[in-house]
């Protein structure tokens, strides 16, 4: 996830804005007490596993992005029940963390291409390792717009049983429309990225840059899964979406829980309606 070291659960439990020095001190304490990694296996309905190397510390390496959060598990459960949303399409994930949601979608939903993204170097390194750990080989990010897929027999010959995977370093505050156009997403997903007003504004700024992609195609479908810890923060996200003309609706939760939770999370998944600027 982008931004300075924060635990979403701790951050949203209060409306106050802690000092940066407190974040640094907390990160140091947690790193000293829990600095080891562990391997976790998440069993999928197909019988396959998602295997991840995760940090045992909530904050590690100056980021909260080295652990798997409940919203990522819930979004993956929803995706597996709605695999047609992702089948043969290009998916961009914002704030991928260590990769659980994306790897689960790639193993169960048959996307054409999947772009994992984050901005923290430690997270990107661990994300790439986890992608390889699960049998995928990420490709270099394209330097220019990806050409259209061949049709007919050529398309059949070019088809691959595994999706194309890329890992992109995306800073939400500075990413350009051209960069997003190069990625050509049909679907955009994100999990547990709505927990800080500063991050919310940067996220909405990025979503606005996706809207002009409708110049020669429809804007991408967008799905954002959030664990609601502080209702005020969540309402702020909805209000800021409305200010810029991005519609939203709550979509039904997955009908069953596949993964284990210590406590059933209060996760809501929003489908966003980006305006078509054509």
User: Domain for residue 54, yes or no?
Assistant: no
User: Domain for residue 26, yes or no?
Assistant: no
**Digit-coded pLDDT (tens) for 185-240:** 999 999 999 988 889 999 999 999 998 654 567 899 999 999 998 999 999 999 99
> Residue 50's beta-bridge partner residues?
42
**C-beta of residue 2 within 8 angstroms of C-beta of residue 63:** no
Binned at pLDDT 50, 70 and 90, residue 181 comes out as: confident
**C-beta of residue 224 within 8 angstroms of C-beta of residue 272:** yes
CATH of the domain at 188: 3.40.50.150
Q: Count other Cβ atoms within 10 Å, centred on residue 135.
A: 12
**Digit-coded pLDDT (tens) for 130-166:** 999 999 999 987 654 544 444 343 343 344 468 999 9
Domain count, the chain: 1
User: Domain for residue 31, yes or no?
Assistant: no
Q: Which domain holds residue 131?
A: 66-273
User: Domain for residue 13, yes or no?
Assistant: no
User: Domain for residue 140, yes or no?
Assistant: yes
Q: Count other Cβ atoms within 10 Å, centred on residue 17.
A: 10
Q: How far apart are CA 271 and CA 188, in angstroms?
A: 10
User: Domain for residue 148, yes or no?
Assistant: yes
Structure tokens at 69: 């959060």
For tokens 């270099």, what's the residue?
140
pTM assigned to the model: 0.80
Q: CA separation (Å) from 203 to 27, 47, 109, 190?
A: 24, 35, 25, 10
Q: How far apart are CA 102 and CA 97, in angstroms?
A: 10
**C-beta of residue 107 within 8 angstroms of C-beta of residue 46:** yes
């Amino acid at each position: 996830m982008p931004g300075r070291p924060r635990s979403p659960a701790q951050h949203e439990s209060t409306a106050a804005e802690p000092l940066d020095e407190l974040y640094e001190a907390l990160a140091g304490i947690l790193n000293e007490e829990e600095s080891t990694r562990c391997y976790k296996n998440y069993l999928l309905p197909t019988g396959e596993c998602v295997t991840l190397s995760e940090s045992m510390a909530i904050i590690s390496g100056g980021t909260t992005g080295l652990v798997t959060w409940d919203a990522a598990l819930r979004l993956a459960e929803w995706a597996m029940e709605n695999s047609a949303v992702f089948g043969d399409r290009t998916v961009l994930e914002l704030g991928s963390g260590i990769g659980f949601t994306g790897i689960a979608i790639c193993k169960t939903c048959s996307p054409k291409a999947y772009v994992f993204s984050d901005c923290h170097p430690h997270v990107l390194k661990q994300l790439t390792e986890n992608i390889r750990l699960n049998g995928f080989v990420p490709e270099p990010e394209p330097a220019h717009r990806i050409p259209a897929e061949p049709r007919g027999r050529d398309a059949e010959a070019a088809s691959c049983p595994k999706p194309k995977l890329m890992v992109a370093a995306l800073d939400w505050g500075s990413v350009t429309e051209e960069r997003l156009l190069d990625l050509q997403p049909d679907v955009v997903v994100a999990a547990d990225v709505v927990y800080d007003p500063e991050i919310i504004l940067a996220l909405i700024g990025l979503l606005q840059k996706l809207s002009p992609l409708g110049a020669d195609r429809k804007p991408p479908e967008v799905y954002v899964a959030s664990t609601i810890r502080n209702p005020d923060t969540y309402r702020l996200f909805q209000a800021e979406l409305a200010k810029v003309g991005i519609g939203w609706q709550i979509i039904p939760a997955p009908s069953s829980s596949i993964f284990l939770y210590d406590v059933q999370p209060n996760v809501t998944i929003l489908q966003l309606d980006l305006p078509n600027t054509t």
